[in-house]
Amino acid sequence: MERGEEVQELKQKMILCIVVFVFVLAIGFVLIFNRFGTDVNEVLQALRNQESFVVFFRDNEERCDKCSMVEDRLNQLGVSYYNFNVQSSSFDDVLQRLNIDYEVKVPAVYVIEKGEVRYNITNIQDEETVNSFIENNRVVSFSNQDS
């Protein structure tokens, strides 16, 4: 009888582990969709509608120290932009729609006018580069024209 009880207990533990795994997996998918989904969908919609906008291509914080610096600077300068994580499954689709056939090194800022790339800067290394790009291309006024 003791052996049968051990087998039954082992089956119950296995079922519990499977239920916990499925639950954690479902939570993970929800978090990933929420992290990558919102602005990604808005960028795709803006491209379909041939709108003018600014998009900030970034990577995960752990992999891109400069991304936080660029994002902070854009916010300080009052630039209205979409935040697009390059880990998104839609990244290649967006590049294709923008006719970008080269590697985009993050952090990168792209100014899109009527679905076409107007200005861009990639692999940003310092705040002065961000400042110059924003000022020289009048990105603040451009990003606020549709608002």
Residue 82: which of 107, 113, 62, 57 has the closest Cα?
Answer: 57
Q: HSE-up of 139 (CA within 13 Å, CB side)? A: 29
Q: Which domain holds residue 97?
A: 2-144
What does each C-alpha distance from 97 to 6, 79, 90 come to in angstroms?
A: 59, 23, 11
For the stretch 25-61, pLDDT in tens is 877 766 555 444 456 678 878 888 888 889 899 887 6
Sheet holding 53-58, edge to edge: 82-85, 53-58, 108-113, 116-121
For residue 33, the domain's CATH number is 3.40.30.10
Q: What is the CA radius of gyration of the chain?
A: 22
For the stretch 103-133, pLDDT in tens is 899 999 999 988 889 999 999 999 899 889 9
Locate all alpha helices (DSSP H) within 1-147, ordered by sequence.
2-48, 65-77, 91-97, 127-136, 139-144
Number of domains in the chain: 1
Q: How confident is the model at residue 15 (pLDDT cuts 50, 70, 90)?
A: very high
